[in-house]
């Protein structure tokens, strides 16, 4: 059996990470485990391994680590494996892998069973799960790694409260249908989930060739509470100030500096064009 490359994220350079390396190595003699030293290295390692013919490349971490590895292997024949050990594991939830122990996830990787899913792009940056323009990207930008380590998912809530007190930007959004839309922030999904277990893009499928777009038109404290409550009950797409539609491509611009995030990592600012890539991604996961 050819070696399986396992890439562990840079935030994990600790005794816990070293223990994880040892555990993976005891699970299989076929594991080549690499600890990265900083942002960008996971992508470089994955890209080099894929071009050398490595067939299975595993991201051990959260959604940010997965995104780096995906951008390293996009367009190659390598398949992506997941060991979801990060703060946020939304993509693992989408694939039914979140909550499984390390051994179960490793068994799936070693079996080599794959499914093919869509790859999405924000300008030239690939993503697998979701993108955000405006509010949630501002929250991601404001949440440092140290803050995340201390407070975990609560760190996002703390920063969201502060950002909600500010005047939101105005976004101008145009999709394939040619309709001009406006809003305060937008979420673009390839899969159904956002922020963990919440199904926010109710019609989304990661292999349907479409992006799902949610546009929220208001952003006061009461609006956010109302949106969150509706999301919990699955009624948010019925709100008068929320637009929901599917498209192959959508462009978002603004007259202000507005950040863009994909899979939980800020990649730049508007204008941004989001689309389904012509490339596909093979993922080591059971078929659904």
Q: Which domains, and CATH codes, for the chain?
A: 4-112 (3.40.50.10330), 126-277 (2.60.200.40)
pLDDT per residue as tens digits for the range 106-141: 999 999 989 999 999 999 999 999 999 999 999 888
Sign of CA dihedral 270, 275, 277, 282: positive
Report H helices in 186-272. 221-233
Cα separation of 135 and 141, whole Å?
10
Asked if the model's pLDDT at residue 219 lies above 80, the reply is yes
Between 224 and 251, whose confidence is greater?
A: 251
159-163, 183-187, 225-229, 240-244, range with the lowest pLDDT = 159-163
Maximum average pLDDT range among 159-168, 182-191, 196-205:
182-191
Residue 57 Rama label (left phi>0; alpha psi -120 to 50; beta): beta
Residue 153 has pLDDT above 80, yes or no: no
* pLDDT-based confidence at residue 166 (cuts at 50, 70, 90): confident
Beta bridge partners of 249: 275
Residue 191 per-residue DSSP state: S
Percent of the chain topping pLDDT 70: 91
b/e map 23-49, b = 16+ CB within 10 Å: ebeebeeebbbbbbeeeebbbebbbeb
Q: Output the pLDDT for position 163.
A: 79
**How far apart (Å, rounded) are the C-alpha atoms in residues 256 and 278?**
31
Q: Which helix (H) or strand (E) holds 63?
A: helix 63-73
* Contact between residue 30 and residue 4 where contact means Cβ atoms under 8 Å apart: yes
Query: Quick one: average pLDDT of 134-159?
Result: 69
pTM recorded for the entire structure: 0.90
Mean pLDDT across the stretch 54-75? 95
The reported pLDDT for the residue numbered 144 is: 58
Residue 190 has pLDDT above 50, yes or no: yes
């Amino acid at each position: 059996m050819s070696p399986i490359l396992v890439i562990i994220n840079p935030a994990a350079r600790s005794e816990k990470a070293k223990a994880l390396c040892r555990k993976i190595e005891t699970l299989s003699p076929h594991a080549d485990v690499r600890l990265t030293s900083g942002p960008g290295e996971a992508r470089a390692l994955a890209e080099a391994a894929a071009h050398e013919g490595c067939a299975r490349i595993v991201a051990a971490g959260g959604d940010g680590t997965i995104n780096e590895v995906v951008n390293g292997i996009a367009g190659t024949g390598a398949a992506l494996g997941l060991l979801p050990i990060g703060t946020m594991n939304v993509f693992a939830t989408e694939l039914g892998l979140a909550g499984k122990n390390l051994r179960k996830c490793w068994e799936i990787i070693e079996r080599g069973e794959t499914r093919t899913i869509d790859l999405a792009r924000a300008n030239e940056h690939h993503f697998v799960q979701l993108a955000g323009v405006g509010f949630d990207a501002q929250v991601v930008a404001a949440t440092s790694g140290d803050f995340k380590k201390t407070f975990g998912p609560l760190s996002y809530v703390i920063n969201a409260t502060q950002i909600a007190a500010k005047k939101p930007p105005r976004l101008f959004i145009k999709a394939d249908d040619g309709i001009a839309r406006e809003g305060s922030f937008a979420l673009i999904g390839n899969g159904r989930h956002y922020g963990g277990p919440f199904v926010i893009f109710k019609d989304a499928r990661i292999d349907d060739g479409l992006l799902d777009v949610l546009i929220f038109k208001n952003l006061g404290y009461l609006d956010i509470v109302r949106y969150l409550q509706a999301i919990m009950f699955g009624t948010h797409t019925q709100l008068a100030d929320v637009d929901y539609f599917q498209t192959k491509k959508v462009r978002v611009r603004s007259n202000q500096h507005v950040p863009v995030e994909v899979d939980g990592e800020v990649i730049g600012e508007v204008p941004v064009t989001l689309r389904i890539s012509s490339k596909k991604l093979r993922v080591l996961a059971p078929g659904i």
